[in-house]
Structure 1
Amino acid sequence: MSASHTSVASFNQQLLQFLESSPTAYHATGSLLAILLDAGFERLYEGDAWQLQPGKRYVLTRNDSSLIAFVYGAGNLTEQGIRMVGAHTDSPCLKVKPRPELLRMGYAQLGVEVYGGALLAPWFDRDLSMAGKVSFRNRSGKLQHALINVKKPVVTIPSLAIHLDRGVNDNRSINAQRDIVPLWLQLPEGEDKAPAFRQQLLQQLQQEYPEVDAEEILDYEISLYDTQPPAIVGQREQFIASARLDNLLSCFIGLQALLQADGSQSTLLICTDHEEVGSASCCGAKGPLLQNFLERLLPENETRTRVIEQSMMISADNAHGIHPNFPDRHDENHGPLLNRGPVIKINANQRYASTSDGSALFRLLCQQVDVPVQNFVARTDMGCGSTIGPVIASEVGVRTLDVGVPTFAMHSIRELAGTQDGWYLYRVMGAFYAYSGSLTSQLLGEQR
């Protein structure tokens, strides 16, 4: 693959389109699914009987928010294993509560709950819209579900003026229950009841799906998001600014690499929901999604164990780039720079699943495609985040390596990455998917 500017630019433009079309984990999964189906992947449903065949490509979803895509290679699975890449579809955000309507001083507001470890300050003074999944009863009395996306700005969280909080720039604390309450609308004088939120969702549903005979919204999972579109920024256009780079960037990279797989090896992409809140759900990495798939692919226990032994998972999740204003927050020898290549994430206490043999293989792949590579190790006196890597390693038993693209402002409403790094990781992922021969022999070397 040639790393020409045209190729990198095209890759990034497709990334921006994917980010903008994916305001929630549901929409991200829908975007991934649509691309895979358009590329010829056959959709599987977990409630059906399967007859998986070598040479074919498959995709399945769970909860509409998690996805597995699988290229069933021609090679012997017990000899070659499966090359797996994992990422997650969810991002920290604000989610609308079940009974959100609030009325204060003639203003209708919406109660929200913080999802995941969101950086709250950047949510103020933004033009926010809402999107998500609604469940409704149609006029025939049947339960149906649909994704909606309002797209236009409909709520905002205005800051308190500095004149009323003179110390705000010195020591600001944000109370998630009191301070992060979006402003929805102002009632006409004399009215004293806020509109029903579910009725507004019903109107939105009917607008997006005029053919659907919806009568009542029964429940919903609605998230707020910033309407400012993703962009290439910087004097020399070296950065990507967007919401949900953590971790839709990795989902997109894994997708693009999988689409280039030639079918000689068996390759798999899994993108799970709920990583930001611990992955403990039916569609999270702690759930049985991947294990269920492998059991149906390989029903016999001994064969499945042998295949897992030959397999490897690369868990892709963004890494903390060293911030030029706060270099002291990094270990002095392990501060990744933007546009300097993907990052191997290492933690002695297994908050990341990386081991030296997996890291060595990744470095070898980077050398083969002429991609620079970096390390991230947290300061010894600071805590360390985690990923789906250790979860899948412990649940499935597959050797796992944690890598990612360096970013700034992780968990902010708008994050920043380098324009080169996604392309770099895509090239390495492509080499990983195409790697021929036994991964175990490479990982274990002469010890074998």
Structure 2
Amino acid sequence: MPVTPVALAHAEDLADFVAASPSSYHAAAEVARRLEDAGFTRLDEHDAWPSATGGRYVVVRDGAAIAWVVPADATATTPVQVFGAHTDSPGFKLKPQPTTGVRGWLQAAVEVYGGPLLNSWLDRELRLAGRLALADGRVVLADTGALLRLPQLAIHLDRGVNNGLALDKQTETQPVWGLGDPSEADILAELAASAEVSASDIRGYDVVVADAARGAVFGKDSAFFASGRLDDLASVHAGVVALQAHEPAAGAPIAVLAAFDHEELGSESRSGAAGPFLEDVLERVYDGLGADASARRRAYAASWCLSSDVGHSVHPNYVGRHDPVVQPVLGSGPILKLNANQRYATDAVGSAAWREWCERSGVATQEFVSNNGVPCGSTIGPITATRLGIRTVDVGIPILSMHSARELAGVSDLHDLTRVAGAFFAG
């Protein structure tokens, strides 16, 4: 069945969002930019925050962003509805002394970030992006655009490659970016030029490699959307679009979008879900509402968190890797993620709530559970539930090629997730 024009427009907007978000730092900045354009006020953690109700705010910490809408009738015990996602993706990160090369080739020294599908990064145009810390104390964003490539060895030089490809993470994942003598070149100069600063002023950097190609809609009836960083910018984008449109009714909860960094590494950082960022923000929001510790606990007891991250669609070439009965597929709706060992935080009450939000938004839903012989990963859901004690449900969209440089989603699922996020924010 053809996807709707609204869903197609949503996918094109997601392509814009991903293109503007090659690193977690760019993603957090793009979240703030879009919300500011929609009338949100950007706050700084160093400043005092307003205590008035009826406000719309966003704050950025490193590569994470949190935004919220306080209803006009909010009180010290008004609950929160937290839509959680993450801004980082598996790939490569630039090492210290990053300019290298041999035999007339210029290469970039990188290390593996998270758990990428290494072979998916071969033979693609790649970009460097991230933040630069300068001598004058400023921190600026940099993005080179298409600059690098990981060229695969020709089959004539490895006749057995189609029998199995295993890349050495040190010697076979260093991309080329030019020709010349490494002693006379500096890849940091390319980053500096993109940020319109001097390379000599760079004192530190957090820079990753990202796919340079734009996301694209394709397939029969325009069913598919392929892009880099769908894990988890698809969820971040859904939350942003839903929060932009959110207009709280009387008695509504405080709607919160929490886009964390470092999920692919375990979330243990000052901007990760295991860190204090969300708790810090919520404490300040409730302080502004006159809440003491007891009132906050009462509010949390009535609150919800939707932990939204991608999950596995059944793969037509590897059906045996999935549960034999529960097999979600692209284009049939967002997924409810369940796991007996609490790798996901969903329970019976959360399952019922998720189905209510889906019904309210007119969206079909599917379930996901792993094959017993193929253990699943985890998400920010159990971490957030543990830190704050808020009831948490793990959800997302089904995709193929998870952790590839370019992942595959269903166009209708992307828009449907946003619709459910809107119903969730309403309470």
Which interval holds the TM-score relative to the shorter structure? Answer: over 0.9
Paired position in structure 1 for 2:386: 394
Is the alpha carbon distance of 1:213 and 1:178 closer, same or farther for their aligned partners in structure 2, counting shifts above 3 Å?
Answer: closer
One-letter amino acid of the counterpart of residue 119, structure 2 = A
- Give, in angstroms, the shift of residue 192 of structure 1: 6.9
Alignment of 1:308-387 (within 5 A): 308-387=300-379
CA contact (8 A) 2:339 2:369 kept: yes
- Gapped regions of structure 2 (runs ≥ 5): none
- Give, in angstroms, the shift of residue 54 of structure 1: 1.3
Paired position in structure 2 for 1:14: 13
Is the alpha carbon distance of 1:201 and 1:257 closer, same or farther for their aligned partners in structure 2, counting shifts above 3 Å?
Answer: closer
Alignment of 1:134-213 (within 5 A): 134-137=132-135, 142-151=136-145, 153-187=146-180, 193-206=183-196
CA contact (8 A) 1:247 1:317 kept: yes
One-letter amino acid of the counterpart of residue 22, structure 1 = S
Is the alpha carbon distance of 1:145 and 1:79 closer, same or farther for their aligned partners in structure 2, counting shifts above 3 Å?
Answer: closer
One-letter amino acid of the counterpart of residue 111, structure 1 = A
Paired position in structure 2 for 1:217: 202
Paired position in structure 1 for 2:114: 116
CA distance in 1, matches of 2:411, 2:419: 14
Paired position in structure 2 for 1:103: 101
CA distance in 2, matches of 1:354, 1:361: 10
Alignment of 1:125-140 (within 5 A): 125-137=123-135
- Give, in angstroms, the shift of residue 194 of structure 1: 4.3
CA contact (8 A) 1:101 1:194 kept: no
3-state SS of 1:410 partner: coil
One-letter amino acid of the counterpart of residue 194, structure 2 = Q
1:286 aligns with 2:293: no
- Give, in angstroms, the shift of residue 7 of structure 1: 1.7
Paired position in structure 2 for 1:44: 43
- Give, in angstroms, the shift of residue 106 of structure 1: 1.9
One-letter amino acid of the counterpart of residue 334, structure 1 = V
- Give, in angstroms, the shift of residue 416 of structure 1: 0.3
- Give, in angstroms, the shift of residue 213 of structure 1: 7.4
CA contact (8 A) 1:102 1:194 kept: no
CA distance in 1, matches of 2:31, 2:86: 12
One-letter amino acid of the counterpart of residue 289, structure 1 = F
CA distance in 2, matches of 1:34, 1:338: 30
CA distance in 1, matches of 2:155, 2:308: 41
CA distance in 1, matches of 2:300, 2:319: 40
Alignment of 1:7-86 (within 5 A): 7-63=6-62, 65-77=63-75, 80-86=78-84
Is the alpha carbon distance of 1:202 and 1:368 closer, same or farther for their aligned partners in structure 2, counting shifts above 3 Å?
Answer: closer
CA distance in 2, matches of 1:43, 1:203: 28
CA contact (8 A) 2:24 2:88 kept: yes
One-letter amino acid of the counterpart of residue 97, structure 1 = K
- When normalised by structure 2's length, the TM-score is 0.94
3-state SS of 1:53 partner: coil
Paired position in structure 1 for 2:255: 267
Is the alpha carbon distance of 1:59 and 1:349 closer, same or farther for their aligned partners in structure 2, counting shifts above 3 Å?
Answer: same
1:115-164 superposed Cα distances (whole Å, 9 cap, x missing partner): 11111001111111211111122xxxx2211101111x221111111122
3-state SS of 2:241 partner: helix
- Give, in angstroms, the shift of residue 215 of structure 1: 4.9
CA contact (8 A) 2:54 2:70 kept: yes
- Give, in angstroms, the shift of residue 40 of structure 1: 0.9
3-state SS of 2:120 partner: helix
One-letter amino acid of the counterpart of residue 340, structure 2 = A
CA distance in 1, matches of 2:182, 2:358: 63
- When normalised by structure 1's length, the TM-score is 0.90
CA distance in 2, matches of 1:314, 1:306: 19
CA distance in 2, matches of 1:333, 1:4: 26
- Give, in angstroms, the shift of residue 47 of structure 1: 1.1
CA contact (8 A) 1:77 1:307 kept: no
Which has the greater radius of gyration? 1
One-letter amino acid of the counterpart of residue 278, structure 2 = L
CA distance in 2, matches of 1:225, 1:307: 40
One-letter amino acid of the counterpart of residue 238, structure 2 = I
CA distance in 2, matches of 1:248, 1:401: 19
One-letter amino acid of the counterpart of residue 272, structure 2 = G
Is the alpha carbon distance of 1:369 and 1:162 closer, same or farther for their aligned partners in structure 2, counting shifts above 3 Å?
Answer: same
CA distance in 2, matches of 1:128, 1:365: 39
Is the alpha carbon distance of 1:170 and 1:4 closer, same or farther for their aligned partners in structure 2, counting shifts above 3 Å?
Answer: closer
Is the alpha carbon distance of 1:146 and 1:181 closer, same or farther for their aligned partners in structure 2, counting shifts above 3 Å?
Answer: same
CA contact (8 A) 1:55 1:263 kept: no
Alignment equivalent of 1:253, drawn from 228, 238, 243: 238
